[in-house]
Amino acid sequence: MSELVARDRRHVWHPYAGPVASPLFAVESAQGVRLRLEDGRELIDGMSSWWSAIHGYRHPHIEEAVKQQLERLPHVMFGGLTHEPAVRLCERLAAQSPGGLERVFLSDSGSVAVEIALKLALQVWQARGRPQRRRILALRGGYHGDTFGAMAVCDPVTGMHGLFAGTLASQLFAERPARRFDEACEAADFADLRRLFAEHADELAAVIVEPIVQGAGGMWFYSPEYLREIRRLCDDSGVLLVADEIATGFGRTGRYFACEHAGIAPDVLCVGKALTGGTLTLAATLASAEVCRVIGEGQPGVFMHGPTFMGNALACAAANASLDLLDSGAWSEQVAGIERGLEAGLAACRGLPAVADVRVLGAIGVVELREPVDMERVAPAFVAQGIWIRPFGRLVYTMPPYGIDSDDLRRLTDGIRTVVASLD
């Protein structure tokens, strides 16, 4: 055990881990698509640091933008003050958003972006004089974050938060979309969704979905027709549609935003993770002109939220630099190449006894197992293959940085296949 890991185990608490995390690997540095461990081993990063490092590590354009901003203004309170990096970022996000959402509320993390979206929806109905419309409809198999409002709209069974069920707000859940991304829906596929809209019309404030790709709740890719039906039902009933694109935004699914697969626009959009290219923590919640109008004209006339580090200038500078890289358009071809590589590289996993399903969409590859993984065994096995993969439950999945080359992608999929085959 390294000295750093020993020190970590005395005082550090890691995500979704006991007080002492195990297994644990010490990272010394990162460059491009590689992590260098303290013991000198190099790993190809198959996780993009939980979807965020889409350009790889230490991209010079992002680093230079942060350095220049650090010399001018690292941070200033956003209450009553503004600055160029934040204004420019909000202008760009609004312009690039599906449907041209008008206004951007900046925050620190994806979970908080979801909290803001839910509060916006509730405040809209308060302003309209219909406070009884305060229930949120979500999908089973969904995951939206770890704070209390976000936990309440995660799947109560697979969303990792069942421990807190008795303390969370009671929300509504439609059955997980049954049809895969490339399958057509039938009328029966919408029955549960339509029933919930009909039965709860007078209390429903908003629907929240992860468009097309459900992330940590099951890594499921569903039909765009289902998303179009949600948009139609929301339009017919006046219910707000919140799109949680924290994991899917900025090209990961092959479209800039996953909503584009269905050709729809939400009333509220949440983004995060890849927003800064994985450099600094930042998230944003975008709202339509109508949401802004209703809240501005209602009581109290202001939105009741305000993070201390809202609009952090360093993070906004990093985000603008990341958007610069996306604006070049190279990401589209890169993601298409990754999709082809993942399809070819993971295909052999389909015949393994331990495997229940294999699915790929954009720069996301998933090997679903029949039984949950043993992290004590599996994590070191991936490291021994020279790759960094962090499974959960029955899911072994990868979402590599966009710039990964074909050789490294092949090493990544070969390593996944080797480890999964050892589970037979």
- Can you read off the two tokens belonging to residue 274? 């890849």
For residues 407-419, give the mean pLDDT.
Answer: 98
Same domain membership, residue 109 and residue 142: yes
Same domain membership, residue 67 and residue 44: no
Q: What is the largest CA-CA distance in the chain?
A: 62
Same domain membership, residue 254 and residue 238: yes
Same domain membership, residue 343 and residue 319: no
Same domain membership, residue 275 and residue 299: yes
Structural domain for 168, as ranges: 63-327
Same domain membership, residue 196 and residue 137: yes
Same domain membership, residue 357 and residue 298: no
Same domain membership, residue 204 and residue 86: yes
215-261 residue pLDDT tens:
998 999 999 999 999 999 999 999 999 999 999 999 999 999 999 99
Same domain membership, residue 131 and residue 10: no
The CATH number for 47's domain is: 3.90.1150.10
In three-state secondary structure terms, 120 is helix
Q: Directed axis angle between helix 191-199 and helix 224-237, to 10°?
A: 20
Domain boundary among 327, 352, 369: 327
In three-state secondary structure terms, 191 is helix
For the chain, how many structural domains are there in total? 2
Domain boundary among 327, 351, 375: 327
312-364 residue pLDDT tens:
999 999 999 999 999 999 999 999 999 999 999 999 999 999 999 999 999 99
How many Å apart are CA 127 and CA 145, to the nearest integer? Answer: 26
Task: Give the amino acid at 141.
Answer: G
Q: Which residues are catalytic?
A: 16, 143, 244, 273
Same domain membership, residue 378 and residue 322: no
DSSP 175: P
In three-state secondary structure terms, 30 is strand
Split at pLDDT 50, 70, 90, the class of 159 is low
The CATH number for 168's domain is: 3.40.640.10
In sequence order, what are the residues at sequence separation of 6 or more whose Cβ sits closer than 8 angstroms to the Cβ of residue 82? 311
Same domain membership, residue 267 and residue 149: yes
How many Å apart are CA 108 and CA 312, to the nearest integer? Answer: 9
How many Å apart are CA 370 and CA 383, to the nearest integer? Answer: 22
Note the Cα 221 to chain centre separation in Å.
Answer: 14
For residues 398-424, give the mean pLDDT.
Answer: 97
For residues 183-197, give the mean pLDDT.
Answer: 97
Domain boundary among 327, 342, 357: 327
How many Å apart are CA 251 and CA 249, to the nearest integer? Answer: 6
Same domain membership, residue 415 and residue 310: no
